[in-house]
Amino acid sequence: MATGAWSIEKRAPLKSDSFARVNENLLETGCLSIVVLGASGDLAKKKTFPALFNLYRQGFLQSNEVHIFGYARTKLSDDELRDRICGYLSHGKENAEDLTKFLHLIKYVSGSYDDEEGFRSLDKAISEHEVSRNSTEGSARRLFYLALPPSVYPSVCKMIKNYCTNKSDLGGWTRIVVEKPFGKDLASAEQLSSQIGELFDEPQIYRIDHYLGKELVQNLLVLRFANRFFLPLWNRDNIDNVQIVFREDFGTEGRGGYFDEYGIIRDIIQNHLLQVFCLIAMEKPISIKPEHIRDEKVKVLQSVVPIKDEEVVLGQYEGYTEDPTVPDNSNTPTFATVILRIHNERWEGVPFILKAGKALNSRKAEVRVQFKDVPGDIFRCQKQGRNEFVIRLQPLEAIYMKLTVKQPGLEMSTAQSELDLSYRQRYQGITIPEAYERLILDTIRGDQQHFVRRDELKEAWEIFTPLLHRIDRGELKAVPYKPGSRGPTEADELLQRAGYVQTHGYIWIPPTL
């Protein structure tokens, strides 16, 4: 097709290792239709459309190539959808023109999720766009983003498959992006995977976990495998314990109904924190090809031993059940600390402490690798603190190493300090892309590295399903904690029992410019 150069082509190869094999000699030149299903919803307005706008502003999506469709049951005109999302698109005076042009790329189609009529209308609208762009048959690209509750994934996928897929034999394709939660336990996730898997091939399915789109999560493999420092130290001989922590300083805020069905383990730990865990604990992949990386993630997940009840603390913040959509007797945890243990040569005996909580005293996500004490410490400074390697995922992205140094001055005394790579200071003027922005671009490029493969998902559910079922049966109770606190004190006690030694009298303060 000769519709001018599409900027993505200029910036990077369009095809992934995973998808390109099928169409090795074909350039992806057809026009691109991005369909946001569930366009009336929360995720669509807060994340999906803003990410698309940012890609547009940066030239990754171009007016002469792309069209964006919103689809949902709510009856809306094109302008009504545009009005709904407009306030969420970051725009100043300088990009007011971009905003107008972007909004004009959006069309809205209303229809149900299980009825052919709506999907036929959607296909008609997409086809009209393709014809208007002179896309040759089979060369057009169709991306369907399911910003919908998972309960409707099977019927929506069936409708897309039956009425909206593109012939993919001339460089075109149809891809679908599905949001978490992918099921509620192993059985339901497997059922969902089979239902979608009967309709689409694995290279067409993008299971999004937005933590995999975060800058510092993407940096983990580079840090580990491109630096000589870490290679010899990254094992049970040197590392005492690893914490992977997610804290939010607000509660479920209008999402109580959804949250109560899932709880913090399904909402955060089984997916976001477990993905980070994989990148910290996996062996070096053969290459950085998506399949090689994902093979290693699966292997480390398979090496995790069953979780013990005594290595779990659950909490629920006081006031959680006041949400009218939450049952009064809910035992759903809004906080959990869970220790994972890996049975392999590198990690035997090292606790991986995964902790997540809502309505806590701060908002942050980080990885904290704590090293063992120095043997034969001639400075007798162990009580001051252990070496720690900290990767602050958000906010204020940073990588720092806590270490012992000589206290400047005449005395030969020691003090705790840090080697600090704070991104805001080191990379001034560089805007770190939003996770969704990056991941949507990957789906267009066909790069599945930062998406969850089916077998990976299965292993993740294998690890947590027995524990989740015990919680669902009420066999493990969530202890109450005060909103705005650190969470249950039992969690700190578990941390200590696991071997974590807190550094007293020292705190890392993000540098200011």
Contact set with ligand LXAUTJHC (CB under 6 A) = 210, 248, 267, 365
Task: Please report how close the Cβ of residue 468 comes to ligand NDP at its closest, in angstroms.
Answer: 17
Nearest-angstrom CA–CA distance, 182 and 185: 9
Q: Does 363 bind ligand NDP (CB under 6 A)?
A: no
Helix (DSSP H) and strand (DSSP E) numbers for the chain: 18, 15
Task: Please report how close the Cβ of residue 447 comes to ligand NDP at its closest, in angstroms.
Answer: 21
Between residues 210 and 402, which has the closer beta carbon with respect to ligand LXAUTJHC? 210
Q: Which of the choices ligand NDP, ligand LXAUTJHC, none does residue 133 contact, using the CB cut-off of 5 to 8 A by kind?
A: none
**Which of 129, 210, 272, 450 is flagged as catalytic?**
272
Tokens of 320: 């959680």
Task: Please report how close the Cβ of residue 75 comes to ligand LXAUTJHC at its closest, in angstroms.
Answer: 28
- Stretch of 177-185, 233-241, 356-364, 495-503 contacting ligand NDP, by CB under 6 A: 177-185
- Cβ 51 vs Cβ 210: under 8 Å: no
Task: Please report how close the Cβ of residue 40 comes to ligand NDP at its closest, in angstroms.
Answer: 4
Query: Catalytic residue at 450?
Result: no
Residue nearest to ligand LXAUTJHC as judged by C-beta position: 267
Q: Does 148 bind ligand NDP (CB under 6 A)?
A: yes
If you ran DSSP here, which 8-state letter would residue 446 be given? Answer: T
Nearest-angstrom CA–CA distance, 357 and 404: 31
Instruction: Give the containing element (helix H, strand E) for 425.
Output: helix 423-426
The contacts of residue 37 (CB under 8 Å, 6+ apart) are 71, 72, 113, 144, 145, 146, 147, 148, 156
Q: Which of the choices ligand LXAUTJHC, ligand NDP, none does residue 42 contact, using the CB cut-off of 5 to 8 A by kind?
A: ligand NDP
Tokens of 349: 């005996």
Binding mask 118-137 for ligand NDP (x = CB under 6 A): --------------------
Residue written as token pair 């066909």: 446
- Kindly tell me the burial class for residue 229, based on how many C-beta atoms sit within 10 Å of its own C-beta (0-12, 13-18, 19 or more): exposed
Rg (CA), the chain: 24
Residue 333: name the closest of 274, 272, 270, 392 by CA: 270
Between residues 30 and 333, which has the closer beta carbon with respect to ligand NDP? 333
Nearest-angstrom CA–CA distance, 24 and 13: 12
Between residues 44 and 105, which has the closer beta carbon with respect to ligand LXAUTJHC? 44
Angle between helices 290-302 and 274-281 in degrees, nearest 10: 100
Nearest-angstrom CA–CA distance, 389 and 91: 37
Which of 180, 358, 386, 450 touches ligand NDP by CB under 6 A?
A: 180
Q: Does 510 bind ligand NDP (CB under 6 A)?
A: no
Binding mask 81-120 for ligand NDP (x = CB under 6 A): --------------------------------x-------
Task: Please report how close the Cβ of residue 261 comes to ligand LXAUTJHC at its closest, in angstroms.
Answer: 12
Q: Does 466 bind ligand NDP (CB under 6 A)?
A: no
Nearest-angstrom CA–CA distance, 340 and 343: 10
Task: Please report how close the Cβ of residue 48 comes to ligand NDP at its closest, in angstroms.
Answer: 9
Q: Does 149 bind ligand NDP (CB under 6 A)?
A: yes
Coil, strand or helix: which one is 439? Answer: helix
Q: Say what the alpha-carbon torsion angle 458, 462, 467, 469 is, to the nearest 10 degrees.
A: 70
Q: Does 38 bind ligand NDP (CB under 6 A)?
A: yes
Sign of the Cα torsion 143, 147, 153, 156 reads: negative
Between residues 26 and 152, which has the closer beta carbon with respect to ligand NDP? 152
Sign of the Cα torsion 23, 24, 29, 31 reads: positive
If you ran DSSP here, which 8-state letter would residue 499 be given? Answer: T
Which of 152, 401, 476, 479 touches ligand NDP by CB under 6 A?
A: 152
Between residues 116 and 261, which has the closer beta carbon with respect to ligand LXAUTJHC? 261
Residue 74: name the closest of 43, 34, 118, 35 by CA: 118
Tokens of 169: 């034999």
Task: Please report how close the Cβ of residue 258 comes to ligand LXAUTJHC at its closest, in angstroms.
Answer: 8
Between residues 251 and 285, which has the closer beta carbon with respect to ligand LXAUTJHC? 251
Which of 73, 284, 469, 504 touches ligand NDP by CB under 6 A?
A: 73
Q: Which of the choices ligand NDP, ligand LXAUTJHC, none does residue 267 contact, using the CB cut-off of 5 to 8 A by kind?
A: ligand LXAUTJHC
Task: Please report how close the Cβ of residue 350 comes to ligand LXAUTJHC at its closest, in angstroms.
Answer: 26
Binding footprint of ligand NDP on the chain (CB under 6 A): 38, 40-44, 46, 72-74, 113, 147-152, 179-181
Residue positions annotated with a catalytic role: 272
